[in-house]
């Protein structure tokens, strides 16, 4: 992994985290996970200790040019590393563990994870052999005691096994993080631990941090078992190859697909690095029990004909480099669509990805495939997140004094708060915050919100996990939105102009319009350049270039109200 760490300008309030007195206080804050679906990272802090929960990644949308991933900025934790006692992972999804390699490169903190999350983290860290880390396991009976905190756990249902809520006992009461949850009364794995949740509620929960992703959905989430039956019936009725795409981290769904394939006598071909790793991790813990003989190597796929093959792959969100996108584009090296192929989307679109998914569907249909998406007539997906009724059930069990909705865009957080209002909570008991806001509790005092009490930011990464500076992102956006104009000047060492100014534009305005502007811009550029030459007694190339670029940019904006990127070249002969 490569890093290109930029010097970061400090947030003007980044020192506010220093306590002014020794009065016992508990502070709760999000470093990521508020205002977005992803990048989850939450902290609970006393005067002397910090507990960190999760370390997730956010998959960038198409608006952030050349960026694949976004992670939280760890500056606050780096500045307070002496206070961090541990990091606890709620479950093994990328939006909760994906940023760990970058975090562990900066901070040596003991990580605790349960079951399959533990395996997924180890598989991830195999790719970074230079990073030292300490990873230990916990289960539903584990208890970790520190000076100011005692940490325990309770099982929840989600789309991946071994999902847990975290209960942090403090001097002022429990701070509970629900993790991603739903209530599935007929789950494929272990049931939610209703008893422990109710017990916490009876002991006294000060504040609940709870999943808000589906806070706009009123109906109870369908059971994974319902989807399992639907997929099996669908597989029985389909003739020809099945190509099915889902999240690799949705282990229960992957298990259903594999078991349905075996039940229907189909061989299985797996495509996508993350899918391979997820199946391997789940198989080690016996969450997936499929005979090795049911799998066929990718290179042998074309030897198998017709009805007896299932291809399970990544790309359900239209990711350009994922297997399904390459199949749709006709660029996949091993999979070419056949007339009787059926493509199944077994996932829900992440907001913002709909256009990419629809583009792939159109390409697949044009190539002759039959495409099936989740609908009332074809249940291929259920959510792993709580709907309104499940949120009400969580609040009824945990009975928190205060609620801090997390894990969601801001409108999701507000919908979550409105559910609590319907249940009798008051507005001053609900806190819809931004990343960096600190919710502070003191004994015998009302909670206080410190707006931007700690420094938070986002770090942009490319597909190689190399960091991209904010300035580079701004430049890329400017190039994409406004275009580029190149101005070329040729002089000798005595500052004499040897050739006419050359102007070239790409992506600025349409060609015909620009031809009318070219003469004026060329004349003005020459005028600006001569003035810049005369302003410097010596041949200061950098100074002349900077002055010329700035003045030319201002002129073009005044004339066109556009701000293209100006690239000034000075040839000295």
Q: What tens-digit pLDDT sequence spans the chain (573 residues)?
A: 333 333 334 444 444 444 455 677 999 999 998 988 889 999 999 999 999 999 999 877 666 666 778 889 999 999 999 999 999 999 999 999 999 999 999 999 999 999 999 999 999 999 899 999 999 999 999 999 999 999 999 999 998 999 999 999 999 999 999 999 999 888 888 899 999 999 999 999 999 999 999 899 888 877 777 777 888 888 888 888 999 998 888 888 899 899 999 999 999 999 988 899 999 999 999 999 999 999 998 888 887 776 689 999 988 888 877 889 899 988 998 888 888 889 998 887 776 677 888 888 999 998 888 998 765 434 455 678 889 999 999 999 999 999 999 998 999 999 999 999 999 999 999 999 999 999 999 988 999 999 999 988 888 887 777 777 667 777 777 677 788 889 999 999 888 999 999 988 888 765 555 566 778 888 899 999 999 999 988 889 999 999 999 999 999 888 888 888 899 999 998
Q: Which two tokens stand for residue 67?
A: 């960026």
Catalytic one of 65, 385, 407, 416: 385
Distance CA 317, CA 312 (A): 14
Question: What phi and psi values does residue 198 have, to the nearest 5 degrees?
Answer: -65, -35
Distance CA 73, CA 90 (A): 20
Catalytic one of 54, 162, 211, 437: 211
Using DSSP, state whether 371 is helix, strand or coil: strand
User: 550 catalytic, yes or no?
Assistant: no
- Domains of the chain, each with CATH number or no CATH: 25-219+384-470 (3.60.15.10), 224-372 (3.40.50.10710), 483-572 (3.10.20.580)
DSSP label of 168: E
Q: Residue 536: which residues within 8 A CB-CB, separation 6 or more?
A: 543, 544
Q: Radius of gyration of the chain from Cα atoms?
A: 28
DSSP β-bridge partners for residue 375: 378
User: 385 catalytic, yes or no?
Assistant: yes
Q: Which two tokens stand for residue 131?
A: 């990073």
Q: Which two tokens stand for residue 76?
A: 């606050």
pTM: 0.77
């Amino acid at each position: 992994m490569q890093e290109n760490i930029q010097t970061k300008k400090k947030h003007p309030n980044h020192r506010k985290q220093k306590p002014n007195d020794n009065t016992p206080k508990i502070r709760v804050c999000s470093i990521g996970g508020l205002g977005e679906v992803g990048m989850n990272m939450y902290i609970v802090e006393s005067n002397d200790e910090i507990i960190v929960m999760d370390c997730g990644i956010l998959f960038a949308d198409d608006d952030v040019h050349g960026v694949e991933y976004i992670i939280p900025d760890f500056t606050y934790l780096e500045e307070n590393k002496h206070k961090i006692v541990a990091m606890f992972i709620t479950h093994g999804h990328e939006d909760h563990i994906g940023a760990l390699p970058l975090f562990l490169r900066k901070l040596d903190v003991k990580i605790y994870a349960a079951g399959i999350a533990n395996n997924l983290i180890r598989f991830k860290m195999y790719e970074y052999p230079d990073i030292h880390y300490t990873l230990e396991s916990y289960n539903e009976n584990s208890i970790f005691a520190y000076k100011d905190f005692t940490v325990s756990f309770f099982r929840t249902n989600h789309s991946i096994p071994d999902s847990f809520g975290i209960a942090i006992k403090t001097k002022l009461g429990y701070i509970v993080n629900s993790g991603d949850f739903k209530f599935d009364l007929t789950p494929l794995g272990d049931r939610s631990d209703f008893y422990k949740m109710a017990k916490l509620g009876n002991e006294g929960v000060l504040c609940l941090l709870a999943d808000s992703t589906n806070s706009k959905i009123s109906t109870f989430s369908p059971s994974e078992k319902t989807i399992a039956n639907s997929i099996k019936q669908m597989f029985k009725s389909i003739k020809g190859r099945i190509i099915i795409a889902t999240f690799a981290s949705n282990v229960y769904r992957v298990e259903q697909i594999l078991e349905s394939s075996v039940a229907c006598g189909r061989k299985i071909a797996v495509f996508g690095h993350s899918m391979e790793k997820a199946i391997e991790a789940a198989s080690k813990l016996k969450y997936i029990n499929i005979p090795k003989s049911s799998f066929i190597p990718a290179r042998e796929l074309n030897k198998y004909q017709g009805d007896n093959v299932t291809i399970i792959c990544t790309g359900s969100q239209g990711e350009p480099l994922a297997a399904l996108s390459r199949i749709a584009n006709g660029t996949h090296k091993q999979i070419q669509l056949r007339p009787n192929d059926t493509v199944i989307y077994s996932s829900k679109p992440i907001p913002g990805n709909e256009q990419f998914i629809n583009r792939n569907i159109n390409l697949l249909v044009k190539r002759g495939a039959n495409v099936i998406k989740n609908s009332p007539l074809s249940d291929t997906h259920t959510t792993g997140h709580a709907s309104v009724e499940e949120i009400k059930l969580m609040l009824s069990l945990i009975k928190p004094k205060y609620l801090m909705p997390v894990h969601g865009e801001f409108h999701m957080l507000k919908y979550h708060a409105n559910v609590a209002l319907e249940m009798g909570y008051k507005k001053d008991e609900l806190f819809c915050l931004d990343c960096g806001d600190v919710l502070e509790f003191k004994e015998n005092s009302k909670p206080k919100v410190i707006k931007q009490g700690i420094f938070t930011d986002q770090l942009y990464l490319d597909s190689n996990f190399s960091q991209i500076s904010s300035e580079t992102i701004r430049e890329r956006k400017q190039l994409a939105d406004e275009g580029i104009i190149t101005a070329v000047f040729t002089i000798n060492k005595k500052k004499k102009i040897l050739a006419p100014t050359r102007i070239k534009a790409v992506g600025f305005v349409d060609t015909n319009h620009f031809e009318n502007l070219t003469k004026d811009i060329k004349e003005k550029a020459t005028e600006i350049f001569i003035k810049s030459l005369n302003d410097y007694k010596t041949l200061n190339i950098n100074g002349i270039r900077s002055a010329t670029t700035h003045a030319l940019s201002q002129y073009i904006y005044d004339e066109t109200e556009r701000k293209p990127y100006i690239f000034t070249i000075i040839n000295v002969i």
